[in-house]
Structure 1
Amino acid sequence: MAQKNIVIVGAGFAGVYATKRLAKHFKKDKDVTITLIDRHSYFTYMTELHEVAADRVPEDAIQYDLQRLFARRKNVKLVTDTATTIDREKKLVKTKHGAYPYDYVMLGIGSQPNDFGTPGVKDYGFTLGSWEHAIALKKHIQDVVRRGAEEHDPAKRKALLSIVVVGSGFTGTETIGELRDWRDSLAKENKLDPSEITFTLMEMAPTIMNMLDRSDANKAERYLLKKGVKVMKNTGVVGVHEDHVDLKDGSTYPTSTLIWTAGVKATDEAAKFGLTQARAGRIVVNSHMESQDDPDVYVVGDVSFFGGNSDRGEPQIVQGAEASAKTALTNIENKMAGKPGDVDYKASYSGFMVSLGSRYGVANLMNIFHLSGFFAMLMKHLVNMLYFLQNYSGYYFFQYLMHEFFRTKNDRNLMRGHTSRQGNVLWAVPARIFLGLMWLVDCAGKVSGKESWFLDKLRLPFDWLQPATTSGASAAGADATSAASGAAKAAAPAAKTVFSLSYQYGKEPMMVFDKMPNWMYTITKAMIPNQNVAFFMQKSMTIIEILIGLALVAGLFTWLSGAVSVAFTVIFCLSGMFYWVNIWMIPMAIAVMNGSGRAFGLDKWVVPYLQKTFGKWWYGTPKALYGSDTPK
């Protein structure tokens, strides 16, 4: 077989999907080379741009290096360059720095925001069509909020702290939801009242989120309104300025942050390839995803326009991109096998999911299951993780888990921060719960029954608390009993104790101290001089042990509970009541003191509340501006 070259231009969802599957299909065919060309060395997970823009995940969290994605695919050649044109006569894909021969080419260069020529959007507005756009928007918001916190003029302050999103499609709604999620931590960093930072969603249509089922869209709208987002329908933006926007009805709206998400179009580069274009600059294809100008040139993803199902073309979403790529790669495989390349495009949309921040979303699965809140977000995460598994990338599957669940800041994840915190306190949770259960189980026999420590029966083994020996017949009886006991001991000598930090079968564990040190003896005797005090101490100690156990299991006042666990264990050791095999309680109690109650524990809410309450009582409320002219 002669050498065959498949060139894929664009490492977006469609390009990566096609490259992965073509590489697998031809992995045993050394005569086939797949060349993937992109101006970046990484694939951008575009559906998470809003998470970067709103500082939920690190900036590089949505960049997936192409080398890592295709390292095991020896038939894939990666090229970091910008494709400039396709020479269809010579069958070359030309780039700024080279040219690559092809038998078949797949063009998936994506889309970009469409501002429809609205004045001022390019100069003063922000879009969210690339990783660079997300970074620029994040830095801008951090800057205007910082400036707004220090601004004395009420009008300027309002504009600086007002964030407006135009367009209620997937990008617009997810962006404003994520930004609203960021509000509280952003306000705290700048010593602001969170309510001063406002959010507005503007939509030209009479309803918002029109890509969703109406009931799902209404749920999402109610959630945004509940969160204080202002929703303005039938509102057209006709001009953008540095500190305000012009509306279609002739009014103005103050804002220094206008985010335009009201439309998309094919990238400007699409016009350079000399192929027929339709609305929004998209390249026209037939049902086989072939360009109508050349059957060896396939066009996939957002840049393609297939009008067989709608005069508006297919939706520019991930499912559409991958469906078009699947059609194109199947036809290429068939042609290379000498079969007709006549597989038709089939739209397959299994559902739509929209997140409104890190904890709430709505989802429509197969038009059967309608989810909202936790389960909708869980489904979105599962779909994202499935994407990495389908593309054979265990490495980025792991990275996704890390940045979405374990490395997030300010409780901004699906588990409301329980799975994420600086340090590894999450992994101390099982130890915390086990230690708490140990206290509770140990106290179970002390609470009821004949062995209860709440009866006025001496349980502490201290010699000065034992009753004095009686005289006469009782003394004779006691002597006889002592003699019998002595004979029994002589007949059955005590087993030799063995030092160990774990129980050994058939061995007698060693006490930490066989008897109390003299100084401890003196202190204890002074604190517990008689049986009445001993009965009180028995009951008090049991109650405290139960409280320690309950607090550790619930994750409440974990630092204090751990510290008391250590103190009690030390006291038990010094009192001659503790074995070496149980000394593990001390290091475990110290370990759980490192904030483990903040992961799946009540300390997550109680400690910050106490810190806030006592901090405000002691220090007052920090502000960015002090003085009588501070805007109210």
Structure 2
Amino acid sequence: MESKTRPHVVIIGAGFGGLNAAQELHAAEADVTLIDKRNYHLFQPLLYQVATAGVQPGDIAYPVRTILRKQKNLDFRMTRATGVDVDKRLVLTRAGDIPYDYLIVAVGGSTNFFGLDSVAANGFGLKDIEDAVGLRNQILSMVERAMQEPDPDLRRAMLTFVVVGGGPTGVESAGALSELVRLVLVKDYPRLNIKEVRIILLEASAHLLAAMPERLQDITYHTLLAKMVEVRFCATVTDFDGEKVTLRGDEVIPARTLIWAAGVQAASFAATSGLALGSMRRIIVNQFLQVPEHPEIFVIGDAAHFEQDGRPLPMIAPVANQGAVIAAQNIRNILQGQPLRPFLYKDPGILATIGRNAAVAKMGNMEFQGFFAWILWLGIHVLRLVGFRNRLMVLLNWAWEYFFYERGVRAIMPNIEKQIKS
């Protein structure tokens, strides 16, 4: 008598969506394979804190195998997925092809430079640990070099830091960078003239934090000004050559550092998948998060083009988390012969910290600002971290910084990049 082969579910990506989907399938009558190019889950919302010397890279990363070690129906493979053969139902990877019965694409997003090749080549995104460590090296190196530069114009350019994008990442990066310089580095560099330091936040529209109510947008703006951040609206970057930022209208800002927080798009796997794409190269899905032409394929998070209320959902972690639950449940329903459940995103709210004792939050009809919103932001982010050690280390770093005005990871580290060969 032949043994019945269990269905095989393959998940590409161990970010918020992929990890949650894997966990949701723990009791499914199926074998699950999770694929990611890295062996850790990364808490991306705190990457800017790595870049501004607030926390260590290891404090926001946690080994995937450790998270899922008790899940008996799961196998993890550290390799890069390069494509999918939808006819043969194969995920193509650098370590060989992996067959699937059901596939969940949760590849996340990447920085969208909107075709600005010079910005991509010379600016800094914030999507992975390498970006964050590279940016931290750049910030600290520029201050070191500025302290040895006799030319005042060159010195001011080295001490000018331009942040592009007025969303949560841009606002949080500008606020954290300002506090790093004003509260910490001024003690390390007695000859640092704070008047020569410029932190400029450029926003192409007329508002910061577009998803926030106007009152909270205004509070954010004035709080940034109080932290010595220059905020420019309707400012569109057209070029950055590593020495100067050029804006539409040919205005030039001498600067050696540009942080790009102005756009995100689906990871490159989505574009090479051969599946129909919507905006920001996201894969088009139906109400059940399935690819219409291939219902055995589900797409969640940043990789999915799913419209609700007439517009695509934002590319944020809560969308991925909620989509993971629905995709996993629908696969279980298929296996059990049950009807599929449509996806309906429920907005949990939006938070953004602007620095010490300052944040804004909108949750349902409630709006918060100042110290309470800051405590709320701290608590939610700590709870969302994976692992007790990571939560403890981040809390200790934040407490140390809060009480002693110090950041303990102000080290310029060599940027060592190693490619893992198949």
- TM-score of the two chains, using structure 1 as the length reference: 0.61
Match of 1:143 among 127, 141, 144: 141
Q: From the superposition, tell whether residues 252 and 210 of structure 1 become closer, same or farther in structure 2 (CA, over 3 Å).
A: same
Matching residue of 2:266: 266
State the structure with more CA Rg. Answer: 1
1:375 aligns with 2:372: yes
Q: How many corresponding residue pairs?
A: 403
Match of 1:397 among 372, 388, 391: 388
Question: Do 1:385 and 1:397's aligned partners in 2 also have CA atoms closer than 8 Å?
Answer: no
CA distance in 2, matches of 1:358, 1:73: 40
Deviations 1:199-220 (A, max 9, x none): 1101111222212111112111
Question: Do 1:181 and 1:412's aligned partners in 2 also have CA atoms closer than 8 Å?
Answer: no
CA distance in 1, matches of 2:252, 2:47: 29
Match of 1:14 among 2, 12, 17: 17
Q: How does 1:22-171 map to 2 (within 5 A)?
A: 22-23=25-26, 25-26=27-28, 29=29, 32-171=30-169
Matching residue of 1:243: 243
Matching residue of 2:418: none
> What is the percent sequence identity of the aligned residues?
30
Shift in Å, 1:358: 4.7
Structure 2: tracts of 5 or more residues without a match: 409-422
Q: From the superposition, tell whether residues 81 and 213 of structure 1 become closer, same or farther in structure 2 (CA, over 3 Å).
A: same
Question: Do 1:42 and 1:66's aligned partners in 2 also have CA atoms closer than 8 Å?
Answer: yes
Shift in Å, 1:292: 2.2
Higher relative CO (CA 8 A, sep ≥ 6), structure 1 or 2?
A: 2
CA distance in 1, matches of 2:60, 2:169: 16
Question: Do 1:14 and 1:108's aligned partners in 2 also have CA atoms closer than 8 Å?
Answer: yes
Q: RMSD of the TM alignment (CA)?
A: 1.9
Deviations 1:80-120 (A, max 9, x none): 00011222222221211122221111001111111111252
CA distance in 2, matches of 1:72, 1:217: 44
1:36 alignment partner, SS class: strand
1:412 alignment partner, SS class: helix
Shift in Å, 1:193: 3.0
CA distance in 2, matches of 1:272, 1:145: 41
Question: Do 2:53 and 2:407's aligned partners in 1 also have CA atoms closer than 8 Å?
Answer: no
2:131 alignment partner, SS class: helix
Matching residue of 2:5: 2
Deviations 1:359-399 (A, max 9, x none): 4211111232x2222221221232234435xxxx5xx1342
Question: Do 2:175 and 2:227's aligned partners in 1 also have CA atoms closer than 8 Å?
Answer: no
Amino acid across the alignment from 2:279: R
Deviations 1:511-552 (A, max 9, x none): xxxxxxxxxxxxxxxxxxxxxxxxxxxxxxxxxxxxxxxxxx
Structure 1: tracts of 5 or more residues without a match: 423-632
Matching residue of 2:416: none
Shift in Å, 1:197: 2.2
Greater strand percent: which structure?
2
Amino acid across the alignment from 2:17: A
Question: Do 2:12 and 2:104's aligned partners in 1 also have CA atoms closer than 8 Å?
Answer: yes
Q: How does 1:279-290 map to 2 (within 5 A)?
A: 279-290=279-290
CA distance in 1, matches of 2:395, 2:73: 35
1:412 aligns with 2:401: yes
Q: From the superposition, tell whether residues 123 and 386 of structure 1 become closer, same or farther in structure 2 (CA, over 3 Å).
A: closer
CA distance in 1, matches of 2:13, 2:261: 22
Question: Do 1:125 and 1:260's aligned partners in 2 also have CA atoms closer than 8 Å?
Answer: yes
Shift in Å, 1:272: 1.9
Q: From the superposition, tell whether residues 421 and 262 of structure 1 become closer, same or farther in structure 2 (CA, over 3 Å).
A: closer
Matching residue of 1:300: 300
Question: Do 2:401 and 2:407's aligned partners in 1 also have CA atoms closer than 8 Å?
Answer: no
Matching residue of 2:339: 340
